[in-house]
Amino acid sequence: MAITGDQVQPPAGKKPYVLPRELLDEFLRDGANQRVGPYGGPLENRARLLFEVIAAVSEVRGSHRVGLRISPLNSYNSIIDSDPIALARWLAGRLNDFDLAYRHLLRADFFRQQKGDLVTPVRENYRGVLIGNMGYGADEAAQAVATGKLDAVAFGTSFLANPDLPARIRRGATLNPANPATFYTRGAAGYTDHPALNA
């Protein structure tokens, strides 16, 4: 199996190595996890590493300080699943056992390869705090929280482009657009140079 992730620049004279930052997703999704044995095959096996990691971290910090973000629809780094909705639904039910601080859900796919409603089945099956993310504006976020669809919404790119995002939302002010050309680049451009209101 190919290891995906960020290649880390090594110290001089050492070989480069790859940091598999989507490791738990690689185990969970059957497009990436081709293992046989206790960590491959049925969902229970593919989720084994995730549950072991949650249990280990919870033992150290307490589960109420552990949050989980997994994005079953997102095909980033070509990690896909044959049935992401079923995976999300099953996982939502099983995560009730862990009493986590929150479950964070990226509701869509960056590359729009995989589509479906993840939020409804996860909400129906997960009893803990549910945070939604991806493509929310202030109005949709407020509505999702008001109707109980989500407990909170996380903003990514609009926070990147608006250092004062909460103040802007409160005032109904126009938002700075984010600049995708600067995403995943080095340096301050696109990260710390967007103007605040009255700046």
Ligand X SMILES: Cc1cc2nc3c(=O)[nH]c(=O)nc-3n(C[C@H](O)[C@H](O)[C@H](O)COP(=O)(O)O)c2cc1C
Binding site for ligand X (CB under 6 A): 69, 106, 133-135, 155-158, 160, 183-184
Distance CA 45, CA 35 (A): 10
Which one, 95 or 160, has the nearer CB to ligand X? 160
Which one, 135 or 195, has the nearer CB to ligand X? 135
Distance CA 42, CA 138 (A): 39
Instruction: Locate 103 and state its tokens.
Output: 């479950």
Which one, 33 or 74, has the nearer CB to ligand X? 74
Residue indicated by tokens 């280990």: 56
Please identify the residue of the shown chain whose CB is closest to the bound ligand X.
Answer: 156
Which one, 45 or 182, has the nearer CB to ligand X? 182
**Amino acid identity of 26?**
E
Burial class (CB in 10 A: 0-12, 13-18, 19+), 171: exposed
Residues 6 or more apart whose CB falls under 8 angstroms from that of 150 comprise: 119, 123, 130, 131, 132, 141, 144
> What's the min distance (Å) between Cβ of 190 and ligand X?
8
> What's the min distance (Å) between Cβ of 69 and ligand X?
6
Which one, 36 or 181, has the nearer CB to ligand X? 181
Q: What are the phi and psi torsion angles at 76 (to 5°)? A: -55, 135
> What's the min distance (Å) between Cβ of 116 and ligand X?
17
